[in-house]
A = this chain, B = another copy of it.
Amino acid sequence: MIKTETITYEGPGGTYEGTISYDDSIEGPRPGVLVCHAWMGQGAFETEQAEKLAALGYVGFALDVYGKGVRASDADRAAELMNQVASDHSVLLARLEYALELLKEHPLVDGDKTGAIGYCFGGKCVLDLARSGAATLGVVSFHGILGAPAGAEEPFINAKVLALHGWDDPLATPEQAREFAEEMTKRGVDWQLHAYGNTVHAFTLPTANDLDHGICYQPDAARRSWQAMENFLEEVFA
C-alpha cells in the first residue's frame, strides 16, 4: 500500500514542508526520487507524482523550496515566489541540496540510488541540481525552463539528464532547446531531449488550459513523458 507522510523540516533559511511517499509492502532500502514543484509551490500535483513514484517501487519526496505555508494561488504570486528564490542561484541550490541529503538519509532510501524529477520551474531546479555536480544518478525535467543560471560554476556533471519538452513551449523555445543541447554536450553530459510535437508548456498538468499563453495539458505527451521517465529511472538505478 502506498503511504504518504507530510514532512516538515528545518533547512537553509527556514522551515519547509513536503511529502514523502513509499510502498509499505516493500522491505528495505530502495531508490529515492525528489519531486521538484512547479512555480505555485509544493502541492497536490507534486504529491501525486511522488505517490506514482512510490507505486514504481521508489521513495518519492515532494520537496519544498519556498518554505512551509508559502504557496501561490495565482500566477502573479507564483512568479513573485519563483523569481525570489531563483534570483540567487546559491539560495535555490542550497535548498535543493538539503532536500537531496534528507532523501539520502531516509531509512527507506538506498542513498547511493537517488534521482530527481521536476515540473516547469521544478524542471529548472533538477537541471540546476545536475549542473551543480550534485551526487545523484539522474534528473528528469518535464517542460522545464532549460536555460543555465548565469555565472554559476561548471563542475563535472554526475547525473544523467533527460529533458521532456513540448516543442511549442513558449518558455523553452526551439532556440533554447538547441542552446541546452549545446551546453549539455559541451559539458560532457549523458543527455537526452525528447521533443513532443503540438505540445506547449505544462503538458503534464491536467488543469492547464490556457492555450493562448502556450500553457496546456496534452494527454499523449503526459503519458509518453511518464513512460520515458520510467525507462530512464530503471536505467540509472540498474
Question: Interface of A with B (CB < 8 Å)?
Answer: 167-168, 174, 178, 181, 184-185, 188-198, 220, 224, 227-228, 231, 235
| A190 proximity list for chain B (CB < 8 A) | 197-198, 220
A sample of 19 more A-B contacts (CB under 8 A), given A167-B193, A191-B197, is A167-B181, A168-B185, A174-B178, A174-B181, A178-B178, A181-B195, A185-B197, A185-B198, A188-B198, A189-B197, A190-B197, A192-B194, A192-B195, A192-B196, A192-B224, A193-B195, A194-B195, A224-B235, A227-B231
| A188 proximity list for chain B (CB < 8 A) | 198
| A192 proximity list for chain B (CB < 8 A) | 194-197, 224
A175 to chain B, nearest CB (A): 9
Query: What are 12 inter-chain pairs, A to B, with CB distance below 8 A?
Result: A168-B185, A174-B178, A178-B178, A181-B195, A190-B198, A190-B220, A192-B194, A192-B224, A193-B195, A195-B195, A228-B228, A231-B231
